[in-house]
Structure 1
Amino acid sequence: MNNFTLGCAYRIITPSLGTLLYGYPNKRPADKVNDDLRCNVMAFGYGKPDSVLISMDLCSFPEPVANRLAVEINSHTNIAKEKIAICATHTHSGPCLSTIVGWGDFDTDYFENTLIKNMLDACDEAINCAKEVLLGVASTDSYVGINRREILPNGQVTLGQNQWGAFDPTMTVLSFIGKDDKKPFANLIHYGCHGTAAGHATPITRDWSGIMVDRLTTETGAFTMYVNGAEGDVGPRLSNGKTVGDISLMTELGGIAANDAVKAFKKIKTYRDVNYSVITDEIKLPYKPFPSIEEMEAKVEAMGDPEKLWPMSQLVRSTLLKRIEAVKKGEFKSHMVINQVIFAFNDVVIVPFGFEVFSEIFLRLKKYSPFENTLGISNSNAANAYLPSLDQIPRGGYEVTQFTGRNVYALADNTDDNIINENIRLIEMLLENGHIQ
């Protein structure tokens, strides 16, 4: 007998006024709350839930922070760390939980005294309210996002709008209804786009996705959660022609997203028992070898006075110094090792990535996947910078500089191929292990 159960809950995780909003290096102290930030939890399994998918209205958090959160959940609920996926919606109007040089200080007080407690409370409620459900799925095209790697006449890539750049318009809604009462119980929206529509504003906000979530909640009367897809090279399609705006522009775009989410939901005609599977395994991504000490020292010297550098250049300089130190100590790692978890619900497979993933990568993942609905999630269980597709690396630009210059160990240029193949291996193992779509 199929007894798949799902529980869901959220808690408010809005920081105090005066908090420095994270996402851009210019200082933006929060002066008011436009809408509350949330920690949203879905807990699921056969019988009592044994896995959780969490979506927080935050920009991102590094792997050590995600690990700490998973340890807290494991200790509190006894759910295995390996079956926990914690992702960020990527709003740029929330608190800083990053440790990146030049991007502000980690908000320890917020993390310890607001985020952890509320996350655990939401996990408790989600687990305790779990009930048997049926699942329906539908998608629609949405033009809330647009490729943001605008190419200038001189060939330089800047942050803006690129009408011909890679972009996945698919918005997918998973709708869960009670197995007995057939009433809407929970919704999960998947779509890829940066949360920067209000990126120049000073209020705290979930950005455009908050309006979408609230609308589908009202339409269905059910808990609604959003997870971000391929947002690495996708920004909001703002009417100002830019990739950042204010509350007014955010509200405008959020209304479009809300309409699209409701449209997708209304396309769902069939609900089925849920066949659920989870797979966990290590995936390995090769690193590049270090350049010579002489080459790196020359680059540092050419940068000049570090006090006069922009935050991105400060970050690159800091990374170069760490690489020089690693070479002197004879330290080198051959691979990044990621503890991956993948969830499957009927013909839907959810694949978390600890990167801001470029569109082509998730489009290829969907193409190669044997599942009808393959939903890749960015900024999950880590924030290891951007993950560009190989074709974009020669173009350079902000995201590519982050990919090549943010971390001490730089991933190989063809990491897109490597990470796709590793995840397809695990997706195919789900079917080999008996998952039924």
Structure 2
Amino acid sequence: MKNRIFNVAILATTLTLLATSTALAELHVGAAIVDVSPTQFPVLVNGGMTSKTAEQIKTPVSSRAIVISDGSESIALVVVDSCMIPKVLLDDAKNRAAKRTKLKPDHIMISATHTHTAPSAFGALGTDADLTYIPLLRERIVESIVNAEANLQPARVGWGSADAPEFTALRRWIRRPDRIDDDPFGNPTVRANMHAARNPENVTGESGPEDPELSMIAFESHKGVPIAVLSNFSMHYFGDSPPISADYYGLFCNGMQNFIQQKYPDAKNVVATMSHGCSGDIWRRDYAASEPSPYENIETYTDALLGIATDTLQTIEYADADTIDMAETRFRLNYRVPDHQRLQWAQQIVETLNGELPKTTTEVYAREQVLLHDLQSTEVVVQAMRIGDIVIATTPNETYAISGLKLKQQSPLEKTMVIELANGADGYIPPAEQHPLGGYNTWAARSAGLEVHAEPKIVAAAMRLIEQVSGKPRRPLAQSKGPACQATLATNPLAYWRLDEMEAPIARDSTANHRDAMYEPGVVFYLEGPASTSLAAAGEVNRCAHFAGGRLRSAIGNSQANYSVSMWFWNGMPNDARAISGWLFSRDHAHGITEFGEHVGIVGNGEHAGRLIFKQGTENETLVGETVIPRWTWNHLVLVRDGSTVRVYLNGNEAPEIESDSVKIPSTAVDQIFVGGRSDNDSNWEGRLDEVAFFDRALSADEVKRLSAK
């Protein structure tokens, strides 16, 4: 009898522990909104080259907080209507919030929306931080976290995603090599810059990809009542006027809340927030579009984007998420400080200001050099958090769209959101390959001052944290092999470079021959390739590289006289820019042209403008095609070298564009090939290239046709 009672007692205890464990593992979510609008005027406003102030509030600016707990861990996600918020202020707010809640400081994420019409919390360019406003902002952020935790209730979580490509586009375009601009230091370094495509004749193409994904994490009570929605979109900002304003982010959040409250009358306290996706090189206007956007004012733009968001919200399926996790890392990065000569130049200009704020671009950047010299380095914070099968990663600055895509494409969890301007503000962080192209996003200042390799270090840190919180390894970075790609591989090329990389210097060979090639500086990555081909799987964007003065190089070994090259090309140069618009392919000794070399390109100005050209040696006759190739269009080329015969095919046409049976047989001693430029770096390619295959034999007409198939 005693044993029986004892066993019953053990069973009861076990059931109690299990019940307690289940209760502890249940997801709880709370949310709150706190007004962070200034109370004293005038107030400094961020977002411009020189200082400005505001005297009134057009729309309130807010701190919107979501606290999530599984009983053992709690995390907070906070989005604040501010242009940028420094790490020191945010660390202070986190420590204060931790003292008033159960949250740990390293389990709090605070990001800025990047509205350019909010009070200045961060000194950058010609605007200082508003020291009167900062204490109010800090305390109101803390208050939003405390209030959100007080509202915790059992909840379920869901994920939604939709593409909104008409609402985001590249604003950073690559300038023509003959139209380079000067930087603020008086040097002609600007090969790429924001909004350069306002005049299409000045540019050759976008400098990177966009990320059109509008992603959402939504929480509802067990009764199906919405609690909170966190949206994320990669679009720099839609400026409102006059300040103070929450920009389009505030309109979006209020519109989402109104929609939910109309559909769910019990959701009186629902909180909608929008975080900033990676968009340092992104804006709302598509300079490549033939027609202007129908969303030319902030209201029509926001309403249309909100329509996509609300449609997506209604498709979300909710589920229990019994565990959450969060990880953080901190590390130091150097600033690109001025050398002695530039520092002296800057100090002389700053001395003339006599303590006044700078009023010209030159004065702004002179002062920034002095400040960077004083700072030398900074600490950055990177985080990742998991909510069930959803993961969020952060970057502490204005990263480019490709940075977010790197994390999304490699994340082991399909549901991945990337929030930028989180936990600090160190301005633009371009990928390393963007620095040689210059432009505003790279000019050394607190708005863009970190070391050249800051971006890959930040992305690598975020990726490691994603692996840590998910417990799974990252996915490999490689696009799928569609039917056209498989057809190329079936033709047995000696090397096949798909040019789908996200960074330099290696172009992977997709064959089993392991003949990787090397990118030179002056190439940018992961742009859209030929859209009409089946090079990637259905529904997947085929990717390519854009060449802006750099080349792809490979030592192919001592080849026979017979060889072939296949590639897709997209010319960014107008025909009247120079004698040769650009060289596509070159086989010769490096750093010059010799009698043994041969080169394929497109004629620039003159009688044969826009036509393919084949040139051998230095004195031999030049062969020219018949078809004028339009700028900014995808085309396919195959060069076939068969002894003394040369044939160049365009777009799979049965008849060669260029043909000659009496060309000098090339030397097999030449083992260097260059794609996207000539061996002597003359008139290198300006535009996109994709799917480059090299064959150590002459292709047949049938093989050429298969390679050109769309």
User: TM-score over 0.5 for the alignment?
Assistant: yes
- For residues 380 and 343 of structure 2, what CA distance do their matches in structure 1 show? 31
Q: Which one of 233, 242, 256 corresponds to residue 191 of structure 1?
A: 233
User: What secondary structure sits across from 1:391 in the alignment?
Assistant: helix
- For residues 325 and 59 of structure 2, what CA distance do their matches in structure 1 show? 34
Change (3 A) 1:310 1:19: closer
Q: 1:3-402 residue pairs with structure 2 within 5 A?
A: 3-16=26-39, 18-47=42-71, 50-103=74-127, 105-112=128-135, 114-142=136-164, 143-153=166-176, 154-155=179-180, 156=190, 157-160=192-195, 164=206, 165-179=208-222, 181-198=223-240, 201-221=241-261, 222-237=270-285, 249-268=297-316, 270-284=317-331, 287=334, 293=340, 295-297=341-343, 299-300=345-346, 307=353, 312-321=361-370, 337-401=379-443
- For residues 48 and 336 of structure 2, what CA distance do their matches in structure 1 show? 30
- For residues 20 and 32 of structure 1, what CA distance do their matches in structure 2 show? 11
User: What do residues 36-68 of structure 1 show as CA deviations (whole Å, max 9, x unaligned)?
Assistant: 111111111113872211111111111111122
Change (3 A) 1:344 1:317: same
Deviation at 1:288, TM superposition (A): 7.2
- Name which of structure 1's ranges 379-388 and 391-400 shifts more when overlaid on structure 2: 391-400
Deviation at 1:34, TM superposition (A): 2.8
Structure 2 partner of 1:422: 461
Q: Which residue type is aligned with residue 44 of structure 1?
A: I
User: What secondary structure sits across from 1:24 in the alignment?
Assistant: coil
User: What do residues 166-210 of structure 1 show as CA deviations (whole Å, max 9, x unaligned)?
Assistant: 21010011111112x122121111112222432xx2232111122
- For residues 77 and 299 of structure 2, what CA distance do their matches in structure 1 show? 27
- For residues 291 and 66 of structure 1, what CA distance do their matches in structure 2 show? 28
Q: Which has the larger radius of gyration?
A: 2
- For residues 30 and 78 of structure 1, what CA distance do their matches in structure 2 show? 37
User: What do residues 205-259 of structure 1 show as CA deviations (whole Å, max 9, x unaligned)?
Assistant: 11112222122112222321111111211123389x9xxxxx9822221112211
Aligned 8 A contact 2:253 2:272 in 1: yes
Deviation at 1:73, TM superposition (A): 1.2
Deviation at 1:26, TM superposition (A): 4.3
Deviation at 1:261, TM superposition (A): 1.3
Change (3 A) 1:364 1:56: same
User: What secondary structure sits across from 1:29 in the alignment?
Assistant: strand
- For residues 462 and 150 of structure 2, what CA distance do their matches in structure 1 show? 32
- Relative to the length of structure 2, the TM-score reads 0.53
- For residues 303 and 68 of structure 1, what CA distance do their matches in structure 2 show? 35
- For residues 322 and 211 of structure 1, what CA distance do their matches in structure 2 show? 36
Larger RCO, structure (CA 8 Å, separation 6 or more) = 1
Identity %: 20
- For residues 161 and 342 of structure 1, what CA distance do their matches in structure 2 show? 35
Q: Which residue type is aligned with residue 461 of structure 2?
A: E
- For residues 156 and 162 of structure 2, what CA distance do their matches in structure 1 show? 21
- Name which of structure 1's ranges 93-102 and 115-124 shifts more when overlaid on structure 2: 115-124
Change (3 A) 1:161 1:54: farther
- For residues 297 and 37 of structure 1, what CA distance do their matches in structure 2 show? 38
Change (3 A) 1:115 1:406: closer
Aligned 8 A contact 2:278 2:398 in 1: yes
Change (3 A) 1:304 1:182: closer
User: What secondary structure sits across from 1:194 in the alignment?
Assistant: coil
User: What secondary structure sits across from 1:60 in the alignment?
Assistant: coil
Q: Which residue type is aligned with residue 212 of structure 2?
A: P
- For residues 86 and 206 of structure 1, what CA distance do their matches in structure 2 show? 16
Aligned 8 A contact 2:126 2:364 in 1: yes
Q: Which residue type is aligned with residue 260 of structure 2?
A: T
User: What do residues 298-334 of structure 1 show as CA deviations (whole Å, max 9, x unaligned)?
Assistant: 65489698549655544542343356668xxxxx76x
Deviation at 1:274, TM superposition (A): 1.3
Aligned 8 A contact 2:336 2:372 in 1: no
Change (3 A) 1:214 1:238: farther
- For residues 411 and 147 of structure 1, what CA distance do their matches in structure 2 show? 22
Q: Which residue type is aligned with residue 35 of structure 2?
A: I
Deviation at 1:123, TM superposition (A): 2.0
Aligned 8 A contact 1:5 1:49 in 2: no
- For residues 388 and 175 of structure 2, what CA distance do their matches in structure 1 show? 44
- For residues 28 and 374 of structure 2, what CA distance do their matches in structure 1 show? 51
- Relative to the length of structure 1, the TM-score reads 0.84
Deviation at 1:366, TM superposition (A): 0.8
Deviation at 1:84, TM superposition (A): 1.1
User: What secondary structure sits across from 1:123 in the alignment?
Assistant: helix
User: What do residues 355-404 of structure 1 show as CA deviations (whole Å, max 9, x unaligned)?
Assistant: 01111111111111111122111111100111111222122111111xx3
Gaps of 5+ in 2: 1-21, 181-189, 198-204, 262-269, 290-294, 474-710
Gaps of 5+ in 1: 242-246, 327-331
- For residues 347 and 47 of structure 2, what CA distance do their matches in structure 1 show? 29
- For residues 106 and 374 of structure 2, what CA distance do their matches in structure 1 show? 33
Aligned 8 A contact 1:238 1:249 in 2: no
- For residues 213 and 298 of structure 1, what CA distance do their matches in structure 2 show? 48
Change (3 A) 1:426 1:14: same
Aligned 8 A contact 1:57 1:206 in 2: yes
- For residues 4 and 159 of structure 1, what CA distance do their matches in structure 2 show? 44
Change (3 A) 1:36 1:337: closer
Deviation at 1:13, TM superposition (A): 1.4
- For residues 343 and 311 of structure 1, what CA distance do their matches in structure 2 show? 42
Change (3 A) 1:29 1:309: closer
- For residues 140 and 324 of structure 1, what CA distance do their matches in structure 2 show? 44
> How many residues are aligned here?
411
